[in-house]
Amino acid sequence: MMKEPAWKKVLSDFFEDIEVISKCQQETLNDFDQFCEFIAEPAFESLADELKKYKIKTKIKKAKDKNIAFQINFPSSSIDNLTYIIYLPKNSIELKLKLRLKGRRSKNALPETKEELFMPQVKAEELLKLPKEEIIQDVIEHYKNFIYQTLAELK
């Protein structure tokens, strides 16, 4: 009985690996969609309701399989002040999210963009159990820091 050449096993393993990676990517996309629908969006909606009391309009924008964004406008304005964007990096095989912040220091200024890890203290497997209050607090913290920085620079 002839033994199969080693390269056939290498080739077979390679195609199995590709299939596993593809499945992981699809599961991660599904998890991200669940995160957006059941955690991030309800958090943004709660915060939007509260910000109305301060004459601040907001917008929630979702791009399926890509990101969810919460736009906070300048008070009594339709011009965006800070946009908090949670996104899944392309081809991710686990739910390690990133945060992109786009902020305008004044109504006439061009937006500045900053990127960082989304809640680095939270493990990927814990994101789907994250209480919406923690996201609300994170948005408020980033918004507060941005506004305080802006006020300090304008003086």
- Any idea which residue has 């924008």 for tokens? 61
Say whether pLDDT at 74 is over 80: yes
What whole-number distance in Å separates Cα of residue 121 and Cα of residue 137?
14
Nearest to residue 81, comparing CAs of 60, 54, 110? 110
Dihedral pair phi/psi, residue 103, rounded to 5°: -130, 145
The lowest-confidence range among 35-44, 58-67, 146-155 is 146-155
Asked whether the beta carbons of 94 and 28 are under 8 A apart, the reply is yes
What is the SS3 assignment for 32?
helix
Separation of first and last alpha carbons in the chain: 85
pTM of the model: 0.90
Note the pLDDT tens digit of each residue in 5-51: 899 999 999 999 999 999 999 999 999 999 999 999 999 999 999 99
Say whether pLDDT at 155 is over 90: no
